[in-house]
Structures are given as C-alpha cells and as structure tokens.
Amino acid sequence: MKNVLVTGGCGYIGSHVVRQLAEAGYKVVVYDNLSTGFADALINGETLVQGDLADTASLDALLAEFGFRTVLHFAAAIVAPESVTDPLKYYANNTRNTLNLLQACVKHKVERFVFSSTAAVYGMPANGIASEESPTEPINPYGTSKLMSEWMLRDTAAAHPMKYVALRYFNVAGADPQARMGQRTPEATHLIKVSCQAALGMRDKVCIYGTDYQTHDGTGIRDYIHIEDLASAHLYALDYLEKGGESTRINVGYGCGSSVREVVAMVKKVSGVDFTVVESERRPGDPAELVAKADNIRAVLGWSPKHADLETIVADAWRWESKLARRNS
C-alpha cells in the first residue's frame, strides 16, 4: 500500500477525498488541526495526526517518519468575505503554511503534490466563463492567497524533482450519496446547505442577493459540482502524476451553470417544503456568472463526472442535512 499524506483531511472536501483514496487502496495519513474539521469524518481507519502546518517541527517529523512521496494539500481557510476583513489570517493560514509544507516536501523528496485551489483565482471573468488560460485577477485575499500558493508550487516544481496538479474548484456542493459525510461547518454560507437548513426549519429564510443580473432569470449563475465528482478528480490527478504527467493546473467543474433561483426551486422540490425566500441587493464582488471551461480535466486527466445533475446534488445534500439535523436535535 502506498502512503499518502493529506493535510486538512478531516474537512468537507478533504474527508471525501480521504475516503475515496482509502477505497482505492492507499494508506492515508491525515494531518489536521481540527479547527474546522471533524475526526469522525475519517471512517475507514485512516491515521490521524493532529497538528498545524505552522508547526514546522511536527511537520518535519511526520514526513521523516512516513517517507511520503505523495502529498494532497487541503488545509486552508476558505471564507472569502472573512478574508476581506481578516486578510492576514488568510496569508498566514493559506500562503505561509503552504510555504512551510513545500519546504518540508523538498527536504523529504516528495515527488507528487495535488493542491486544492479555487476558481476565486480568476476573480470576475469578463464573459463569466473561466478557462485555465483566463487572466488570474482575484478580488479578495482568499483568492490571492491561493494564487500565491500556486505560484510557489510552480517555482518549486521548476527547481526540484516534484510534479504537481493544482485543481481549481468551482462551486462544490452535495454530500456522500450514502450520507456518511457532508458539509458540517456550523456557519456555512453555501447556497444549497443554507436552503436545506431553511427547509428543515433551522433558518427563517433564504436570501437571494441580486435579482437584476444580466442572466436568464436575473440571479447569479454558478457551476455547481457534486462533492463525489470533485473528490474523484483528485484520484485522477494522482494517477496522472504517477504515470509521469507534467505539472499543470486544471479547472474542476461541469462547464454549465445553475442560477440561484433554480437552486432554491430545486431544494423546495426535493424537500417538499416551501420556505421563505427574500430578495436582497447584490453583494459587492459577486459576478453575474462564473462557470468553468472544463475541457482540460477530461482531456488531460481522463476524468468524467458521474453525478452531474442538479437534482442529484440537491437530493444528496438534503439526505445529509436531514441526518445531521436529527443527530444534533
């Protein structure tokens, strides 16, 4: 069995990837400070080492002990509005801690690195469609912190025998179809989660921010991707690197979008609950449309989605949120 290190593997995305790695036969070691993750999200007996990437001594000891040749890096702060009010948290937690990890990887001769990046590196593409060649013009410190990490990865790989894939996520949503794991962040702002919570009576309303965009129904359009498809992209990226693939950055999305109104309507359909929806002003910095040009992930990695349907995404999220509400009641 091949040892792989997964930082932030107890979080929403990381835990789904860890589960798929374990199911594929990898021996997974998770390094997580549990500030936003949950130890019980590791359901296949994976090894958990509780620690922080700011603790360079512990990080060095971990890589020395296990002799990893592969690292998947998820640990990060991810709330874009918070990054505007507390930018140094994001440059410390995302950029500086990625630097710490890369220094340890170089020292211990890590050969393959899969990085959790974001479509936020693009900012607001002029036509709402972002390809890997689109200008990278982030509009908040979150996106900037991830882009800076991509630059460090690029330059590290140029100077050392390490290859990487940076996966730029679009709007991750849904949950494990068997409801074993899903989004658990208490103050999550994801539209599908918020709408499910409203349907469950945990919120008194859902706000639609902006109804006057130049879109088919006036609300913002996003490329929602099922967490299971997103997670599988990491295994395809790892396989690509194991077969000698060159370093690259790749969008992870479906290449089609759903509007805010369409998402809310789908949650109402799946849940059978007609919850309150309030229309509000646009939020600063929200693009009218942000959709992936998703050709490369198919052509380069050979990946194809299995859950690319809004109703499937919402149904799996609803199943998980209902279970979580019962558990916490």
Catalytic sites, residue numbers: 142
CA 315 from chain centre, in angstroms, equals: 19
109: which 2 tokens? 């001769």
Q: Which of 13, 3, 8 is nearest to 182 (CA)?
A: 13
Distance in angstroms (rounded) separating the CA atoms of residues 142 and 130: 18
Amino acid in position 125: P
Distance in angstroms (rounded) separating the CA atoms of residues 117 and 95: 12
Distance in angstroms (rounded) separating the CA atoms of residues 17 and 74: 10
Which residues fall within 8 angstroms of residue 214, CB to CB, at 6 or more apart? 288
Q: Which of 7, 48, 4 is nearest to 26 (CA)?
A: 4
SS3 string, 184-205, reads: CCCCCCCHHHHHHHHHCCCCCC
Helix and strand totals (H; E) in the chain: 11, 15
Looking up tokens 């993750």 gives: 37
Distance in angstroms (rounded) separating the CA atoms of residues 276 and 90: 34
Helix ranges restricted to H, the chain:
12-23, 56-66, 80-85, 87-90, 97-107, 141-159, 191-199, 227-242, 260-271, 295-301, 310-328
193: which 2 tokens? 């989660």
Distance in angstroms (rounded) separating the CA atoms of residues 325 and 310: 22
Distance in angstroms (rounded) separating the CA atoms of residues 175 and 142: 24
Distance in angstroms (rounded) separating the CA atoms of residues 116 and 230: 11
Cα within 13 Å of Cα(117), Cβ side: 31
Looking up tokens 């860890």 gives: 18
